[in-house]
Chain A
Amino acid sequence: MSSVRVLVGTRKGAFVLTSDGKREKWDVSGPHFAGWELYHLKGSPADPNRIYASQSSGWFGQIIQRSDDGGKTWFQPGTPAGAPKTTPEGMPMGESNKFVYDTSEETGKPLTTHQWYDGTAHPWEFKRVWHLEPSLDDPDVVFAGVEDAALFKSTNGGQTWQELPGLRGHGTGSQWQPGAGGMCLHTIILDGERIFVAISAAGAFRSDDRGATWKPINKGLHSQYIPDPNAEVGHCVHHVAKHPSKSNLLFMQKHWDVMRSDDAGDSWTEISGNLPTDFGFVIDVHAHEPETVYVVPIKSDGEHYPPDGKLRVYRSRSGGNEWEPLTNGLPQSNCYVNVLRDAMAIDSLDSCGVYFGTTGGQVYASADAGDTWNPIVRDLPAVLSVEVQTLT
């Protein structure tokens, strides 16, 4: 029988929520890595028991964790149990936590500064991993989106990491600027030869050659809060979602505005339609209906909570513009939580499941594509990310 495993990253640890395909009764394990910030956890599509996790702390920096048994036990892949503790040269292992920007002459563009909030040049400084995206077909290959924005790749199960420098070096990197949350690469979408990424506050970018070369894909985005509202880069993209079966169809929740692209990001059109506010962070697509999209409207950039204190998921079955509120089982008064950019996920069971987590520590699940909702847990630390694995 099918089952699901929901991976939840929070401000104070990770939690693993499991259920059978009915998604009515849940087992909760955790906190894993208690007391640490878990920005993201994600399982390998090629080996569901392989899960990668980003553990970080303002005190102690970045730790990469890996599980090979579905989240029961974890280890740092650079220092596996029983392995030598030092390299032949006598250097300590622990390379899995080391993210070093590529400034080599060989790759041609040793890019060392981006714009700071005040427009001055600021050196690139690694802070943490925001998002881990395992390869679709090789459990040992995984990509990491980091702050300050860059894309890293591991081909050995997270033991070591190398930057894909073509992204920062393609020409606009020196113009990128952090948003209030930092200059983070938070979205990675893998699709054959193509990779899509999104950076706050630079915009969306696409590679058609597995990450070697890149170009901005922000035409049609309009952002009143930047000096040139139609600039090539500088847009605060909050999240991008894509259905696996549609090569060119993308959906975007921008700082303000919900957008779609039918040409793999070459151009974008607004689909905010009748949403009560088009500010928000999450966006995701139904597993079996590529034109069914979900967002959680948030009041404004200054007020990060649902309008009118009502937590509503909005669903469009027409690819945007026409949206219906989904409220059954969600609090409709005095609710002032936020739903962060990586905190929504979709399972692929026949009756599509939708999940999201809040800064108030609730993780809500719908086993009927959003028609009705139930909290799996109500009182976790603030939720940073939610991913789901559909297991058979």
Chain B
Amino acid sequence: MPAHLRTLAGVSGDVTLDIEGEVTRRSILDALERQYPMLRGTIREHVSGERRPFLRFFACGEDITHNSPDDPLPQEIASGKEPFYVIGAIAGG
């Protein structure tokens, strides 16, 4: 997660989530918000549930930002072997 979100959630480094059922972008973000409710609304807008425009999602080196949020993610993500990335647009330069 971007550094500002890690600060908000009070975590450092990667976050590990337990997910029942299929691992998708939606199930990851739902689990993240359940475990760290202070992040609710910061990645997906409160009311619409839409991704905030300066954020993108990557899995196994692939940009999945514009895929369906309900698409199953690769087994490497589901098993925890590879991280799921929430990336913020570069600020500054």
Contacts and interface: CB of A to CB of B under 8 A. Distances in A.
Interface in A67-81: 76, 78-79
B46 A98 contact: yes
A59 B45 contact: no
Given A35-B4, A60-B52, A100 B41 contact: no
A62 B2 CA distance: 16
A78 B39 CA distance: 11
Interface string B48-89: 000010110000000000000000000000000000000011
Contacts of A79: 37-38
Nearest to A101: B47
A76 B38 CA distance: 7
Given A36-B4, A85-B34, A94-B33, A61 B41 contact: yes
Contacts of A60: 2, 4-5, 8, 42-43, 52, 88
A269 B12 CA distance: 57
A61 B52 contact: yes
A93 interface: yes
Interface residues of A, number: 23
B54 A59 contact: yes
Interface residues of B, number: 25
Contacts of A94: 33, 37-41
Contacts of B46: 61, 97-100
Select the residue from B4, B41, B55 with max chain A CB neighbours within 10 A: B41
Contacts of A97: 40-42, 46
B10 to A, nearest CB: 10
Interface of B: 2-5, 7-8, 33-35, 37-43, 45-47, 52, 54-55, 88-89, 91
Given A60-B5, A61-B52, A94-B33, 11 more contacts: A59-B4, A60-B43, A76-B38, A78-B37, A86-B34, A92-B40, A94-B37, A94-B38, A97-B41, A98-B41, A100-B47
